[in-house]
């Protein structure tokens, strides 16, 4: 397959994570560059999972990738897994299927080693989230009392 090198502006990033957009953009570009896949991927979305492993999805018809951070992502130990999952999804966009691909956890990316992914300054701290969650539960209990008299 002949790869066309399109300008970086054809690439869209959607950040629905608490991590810094500039860090994520560097990650997105470094992976595409390492895989020589510029122009192939149109959209990369970042989300956060309630689970403890990194996940990814590739929507081939839209050339869109979702990279899903694990809960409590720790760049010091989880960057490699994030890069492995991202590479795997790029391979899907490239047109590969699982039978043609190595298992993602056996991939050995190195392009992410000099990168960091930091929390945004305004990102909610896990503690703040817990406090908010307790407040919401109290309100829901109150609503139940009003509604159902329980
Ligand atoms: Zn897959």
Extents of the domains making up the chain = 8-119, 123-150
Going by pLDDT thresholds of 50, 70 and 90, the confidence category of residue 32 is very high
pTM: 0.78
**How close is the Cα of 47 to the center of ligand 1, in Å?**
17
Give residue-wise pLDDT tens across range 87-139: 999 999 999 999 999 999 999 999 999 999 999 988 877 677 778 888 898 99
Position 8 pLDDT exceeds 70: no
Going by pLDDT thresholds of 50, 70 and 90, the confidence category of residue 1 is very low
**How close is the Cα of 107 to the center of ligand 1, in Å?**
13
Closest CA to 74 of 53, 57, 45: 53
CATH number at 8-119: 3.40.30
Position 6 pLDDT exceeds 50: no
**How close is the Cα of 105 to the center of ligand 1, in Å?**
11
DSSP state string for 27-96: HHHHHHHHTT-TTT--EEEEEE-SSSS-EEEEEGGGTEEEEEEPTT--HHHHHHHHHHHHHHHHHHHHT-
Q: Say if residues 82 and 55 touch (Cβ distance below 8 Å).
A: no
């Amino acid at each position: 397959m002949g790869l066309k090198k399109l300008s970086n502006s054809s690439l869209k990033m959607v950040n629905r994570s608490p991590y810094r957009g500039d860090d994520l953009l560097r990650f997105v570009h470094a992976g595409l560059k390492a895989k020589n896949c510029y122009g192939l991927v149109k959209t990369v979305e970042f989300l956060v999972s309630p689970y403890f492993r990194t996940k990814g999805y590739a929507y081939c018809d839209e050339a869109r990738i979702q990279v899903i951070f694990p809960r409590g992502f720790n760049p010091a130990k989880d960057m490699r897994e994030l890069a492995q999952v991202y590479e795997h999804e790029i391979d899907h966009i490239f047109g590969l299927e699982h039978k043609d691909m190595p298992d993602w956890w056996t991939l050995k990316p190195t392009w992410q080693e000099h990168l960091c992914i930091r929390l945004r300054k305004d990102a909610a701290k896990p503690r703040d989230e817990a406090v908010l969650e307790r407040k919401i539960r109290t309100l829901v209990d109150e609503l139940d009392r009003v509604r159902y008299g329980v």
